[in-house]
Amino acid sequence: MHIFKFIRPTDAAAAIAAAAQSKTAQQGADVRFMGGGTTLIDLMKLNVETPDRVLDINRLPLDKIEATPDGGVKIGATVRNSDLAHHPKVQKDYLVLSQAILNGASAQIRNMATVGGNLLQRTRCVYFRDTAMSCNKREPGSGCPAIIGHNRTLAILGTSEHCIATNPSDMSVAMAALEATIYVQGPKGSRAIPFADFHLLPGNTPHRETVLDPGDLITHVTLPPPVVGSKQLYLKLRDRASYEFALVSAAVVLTIASGRITRARIALGGVGTKPWRSPEAEGVLTGKTANEATFRQAAEAALHGAKPQSENGFKIELAKRCLTYALRTAAAS
């Protein structure tokens, strides 16, 4: 592990000022915020991340879950995954989020991992994690061995010729479907980022994963007021029953009145280079009768344009079946 200086900023302003000195907030940042450490320490041990300074933000007052005046919820950046998943309001109004978190990692990791860190979770692509290999995300311009190599678990949506790495987060998939807003405080002030705009597609800059700049500190996330009567489900399919990343997953939030779908929010995990919201599936579902034909049609729309690699073509049909099953199960709930 690269030698670093450990700093515990006394407040958010000090944390932001220290982080603003970093050359980048993206891959290879020389200053890093430390939340739970479950991604960052792992990557530091692999020398994938080599910060000179680590800013421990765990004692900043960013650990509250509060109701917002409009009936939504405000979730602090250092709220632990387990606390969020078990919070009564989340279980009552945002079940898909609770389910997604509890389907991720293990009980120990959920006790450590923060909301802010989970938004910034890094890909599990084996080439990214191995500094002996080329990787455009880790070393821009070095090439992508995954495209001709081991890519069974990698992405089929949002890929480019430079990167096919999957975003591994479960929590983010649910937050995409719930249309969360991410609040960031930076050297130039505060801003609110709609969830769909937060993560970037790899394009020809796969080392840029989010819109964050040096000094940008995620302070909290808000969820809009719950949709009364909505049916929610997170379904995750993986190689083993627990403690495994998704091959494919689906977050669905449906409102059905008299057998007709009046509102649909759909996001997929395990298949995209970012948490994959599907306006195409939502468009198919909205206004239609909630039946098997509609669900399958939505799944076809969600995977339209998916690009298989040499080992992960199975994900296209698996994702379609996953979404169809999730829609059917949610509609019947």
Partner 1 sequence: MSDDDPKSRPPSPTRRKFLLTSGSGVAASLVAVYVPALAERAAEESHTDLTSAGPNIEGAVPITLRINGKDHKLNVEPRTTLLDCIRETVVLTGTKKGCDHGQCGACTVHVNGRRVLSCLNLALMHDGEEITTVEGLGTPEAMHPMQASFLACDAYQCGYCTSGQIMSAVALLKEPCGPDDASVKELMSGNICRCGAYANIVEAIQQVRKNA
Residue closest to 180 by CA, chosen among 190, 171, 189, 169: 171
Binding residues for partner 1, how many (CB under 8 A)? Answer: 27
Give the nearer residue to partner 1 in terms of CB position, either 101 or 284: 101
Q: How far is the CB of 44 from partner 1 (least distance, A)?
A: 8
Q: Could you give the strand order of the β-sheet that contains 217-223, starting from the edge strand earlier in sequence?
A: 65-67, 73-76, 217-223, 181-186, 189-194
245-249 long-range contacts, Cβ below 8 Å, gap at least 24?
245/124, 245/153, 245/166, 245/168, 245/270, 246/103, 246/168, 246/170, 246/270, 247/153, 247/315, 247/318, 248/315, 248/318, 248/319, 248/322, 249/100, 249/103, 249/170, 249/173, 249/322
Q: What share of the chain is helix, strand, coil (3-state, %, to 5)?
A: 30, 25, 50
Cross-strand partners of 220: 76, 183
Closest CA to 75 of 56, 92, 89, 95: 89
Residue 47 within binding range of partner 1, rule CB under 8 A:
no
- Single residue of 22, 26, 27, 38 touching partner 1 by CB under 8 A: 38
Q: Which is nearer to partner 1, 241 or 293 (CB)?
A: 241
Q: What's the closest the beta carbon of residue 278 comes to partner 1, in angstroms?
A: 28
Q: Would you give the DSSP letter of residue 291?
A: S
Contact with partner 1 (CB under 8 A) among 111, 205, 222, 291 = 111
**Could you say whether residue 112 binds partner 1 (CB under 8 A)?**
yes
Piece of the chain touching partner 1 by CB under 8 A; list 67-75, 99-107, 145-153, 319-327: 99-107
Considering only 12, 24, 86, 126, the residue that binds partner 1 (CB under 8 A) is 86
Helices and strands of the chain, counted as H and E runs: 12, 12
Q: Which of residues 247-286 bind partner 1 (CB under 8 A)?
A: none
Q: Does 319 bind partner 1 (CB under 8 A)?
A: no
Spatial distance between the Cα atoms of 108 and 184, rounded to a whole number of angstroms: 27
If DSSP codes are grouped into helix, strand and coil, which group holds residue 152? coil
60 binds partner 1 (CB under 8 A): no
Nearest CB to partner 1, comparing residues 105 and 319:
105
Q: Which region among 19-27, 60-68, 100-108, 288-296 touches partner 1 (by CB under 8 A)?
A: 100-108
Contact flag: residue 107 with partner 1 (CB under 8 A): yes
Q: Applying CB under 8 A, does 106 fall inside the site for partner 1?
A: yes
**Binding residues among 283-312 for partner 1 as defined by CB under 8 A:** none
Give the nearest distance from C-beta 310 to partner 1 in angstroms.
Answer: 26
Angle at Cα 108 formed by Cα 106 and Cα 112, nearest 5°?
A: 110
Nearer to partner 1 by Cβ, of 41 and 196: the residue is 41
The encoded tokens of residue 127 equal: 């080439």
Is residue 42 a contact point for partner 1 (CB under 8 A)?
yes
- Residue 34 makes contact with partner 1 by CB under 8 A: yes
CB of 133 to partner 1, least distance (A): 17
Candidate residues 14, 24, 56, 143; the one interacting with partner 1 per rule CB under 8 A: 56
Q: Compute the distance between CA of residue 223 and CA of residue 136 in angstroms, rounded to an integer.
A: 34
CB 80 within 8 A of CB 113: yes
Asked if 18 is part of the footprint of partner 1 (rule: CB under 8 A), the reply reads no
Which residue ranges make up the site for partner 1 (CB under 8 A)?
1, 3-6, 34, 36-38, 41-42, 45, 54, 56, 58, 82, 86, 105-109, 111-112, 241-243
